[in-house]
Amino acid sequence: METSRRTKVKELLDSTAFGSTVIVKGWVRTFRNNQFIAINDGSTINNIQAVVDFENTDETLLKRITTGAAISVTGELIESLGKGQKVEIKVKSLEILGDSDPEKFPLQPKKHSLEFLREIAHLRFRTNTFNAVFKVRHALAFAIHQFFNERGFVYMHTPIITASDAEGAGEMFRVTTLDFDNPPRTEEGKVDYKQDFFGKSTNLTVSGQLEGELAAMAFGDIYTFGPTFRAENSNTTRHLAEFWMIEPEMAFYDLNDNMQLAEDLLKYVIKHAMSTCADEIEFLKNRLLEEEKQKPQDERSELDLVSKLNFCLENNFERLTYTEAIEILKNSTPNKKKKFKYLIESWGADLQSEHERFLVEKHFKKPVILTDYPKDIKAFYMRQNDDGKTVRAMDILFPGIGEIVGGSQREERLELLEKRMQEMHIPAEELYWYLDTRRFGSAPHAGFGLGFERLVLFVTGMTNIRDVIAFPRAPKTAEF
């Protein structure tokens, strides 16, 4: 009896059911010598080869087998004699499901630059590179949920539209239904937000943390995983206006518990991606090696992608204070020889990516967790240390990328939190609900934020953050 169900390419490539009849549906990657069709259906980065008997196939049909066309092939699974593949399909019948005009289809089988692919981001999933990147992205997202689920955390959906500015960052996207050209005004001439949809000024969230803390004060351990928005006008390879964040928040945790959880999470998800996406990561490793060949020797990374990932799995993260890090940096060769773009002169300096990478890649040769930063360069909610100068913050630094996680023990003492909010001009009355967690049954607690795209960037070895999110949102960029 003939089967009428299609089999995915991934399954067939591992199959040994030679002689059986199979159906494959997918898109043509290449068609060589009028007989060899490489078909990909998205289930794996690898293609399956279908061999067509061109002498006994209608010529008009052959002409329609073009790159990008969707086809259905029925044939016999046979052992392949060609290099690099175990199986292929001897075509019995072939149907074109959707034509693709080679004159117009922009993805012909040649090397395309990542810049060009960003311009046609709606089609770039169909390339090997992006097949690999988004398979890894999926694996990482799945592993994050699995990690927290195994530890009894509750997954919270925090609001996307908020009336608070969690970071005190001030760079937010406004949400409104008011008429831009003619908004209602108060007697003082200001925009009258009382007439807006929510009756007040609202914006897209910059973080789910404050709401996460409310939940942690009831459930103990929670995490959020959702979109966040920053209206920073930064056109860099590591900033997006819309990105995803993982923000766990844990009651009864101190800074050490927080650091340990973050280290465990990073190792867990990287390990999961390496075991479930071995082919994809191997492909991305080779892609990166090719890309690095174009660079001058001193700009190439010392480690290939797989070694870099193992570097994070095999080392215990080095923990040190900001103060110790400043001493190391101040006395470092690149600082003394003025090789750093930003020279470290005194305590209190905000560390840049070049400093973070020096500590990880050159000095310790392992991932680094920095703690106890000056309070003036950190957010209002971080727990103050007894020295009056520093807060219980922690940042995790990775090779090639710098900061990947930022977190802290939170200030659970109401008076100190209120005082700090006054100093930083954060309106306490608007955040009364947040302060209630300190009024009623306050407890030590901690949490961190992990930028999901930074993590995907690291694990895929891509060099531009716009290449690890499907449709990047950045200044002057909101296509598709």
User: For the segment 237-252, what is each residue's pLDDT rounded down to a tens digit?
Assistant: 888 999 999 999 999 9
Amino acid at 337: K
pLDDT in tens, 160-193: 999 876 555 568 999 999 999 999 999 999 999 9
Distance CA 233, CA 202 (A): 20
pLDDT of residue 378: 93
Largest CA distance in the chain: 86
Select from 156, 157, 463 the least CA-distant residue to 295.
463
State whether residue 95 is helix, strand or coil.
Answer: strand
Query: In this model, does residue 38 exceed pLDDT 50?
Result: yes
pLDDT in tens, 377-398: 999 999 999 999 999 999 999 9
Say which DSSP state 403 is in: E
Per-residue confidence band for 3, with pLDDT thresholds at 50, 70 and 90: low
Say which DSSP state 309 is in: H
Average pLDDT of the chain, as a whole number: 94
pLDDT of residue 169: 56
State whether residue 32 is helix, strand or coil.
Answer: strand
Query: In this model, does residue 84 exceed pLDDT 80?
Result: no
**H helices present in 89-243, as ranges:** 114-119, 128-150, 209-219
* Domains identified in the chain and CATH numbers: 9-98 (2.40.50.140), 126-171+206-467 (3.30.930.10)
Say which DSSP state 386 is in: T
Chain centroid, CA 410 distance in Å: 25
Q: Which range has the worst mean pLDDT, 115-124, 168-177, 263-272, 333-342?
A: 168-177
pLDDT in tens, 432-469: 999 999 999 999 999 999 999 999 999 999 999 999 99
For 19-22, which contacts have Cβ atoms below 8 Å and span 24 or more sequence positions? Answer: 19/76, 19/77, 19/78, 20/76, 20/77, 21/74, 21/75, 21/76, 21/77, 21/92, 22/74, 22/75, 22/76, 22/77, 22/89
Average pLDDT value for residue range 409-424: 96
CB 74 within 8 A of CB 92: yes
Average pLDDT value for residue range 285-311: 89
pLDDT of residue 1: 40
pLDDT of residue 233: 85
Select from 407, 349, 356 the least CA-distant residue to 379.
407
Confidence (pTM): 0.94
Per-residue confidence band for 68, with pLDDT thresholds at 50, 70 and 90: very high
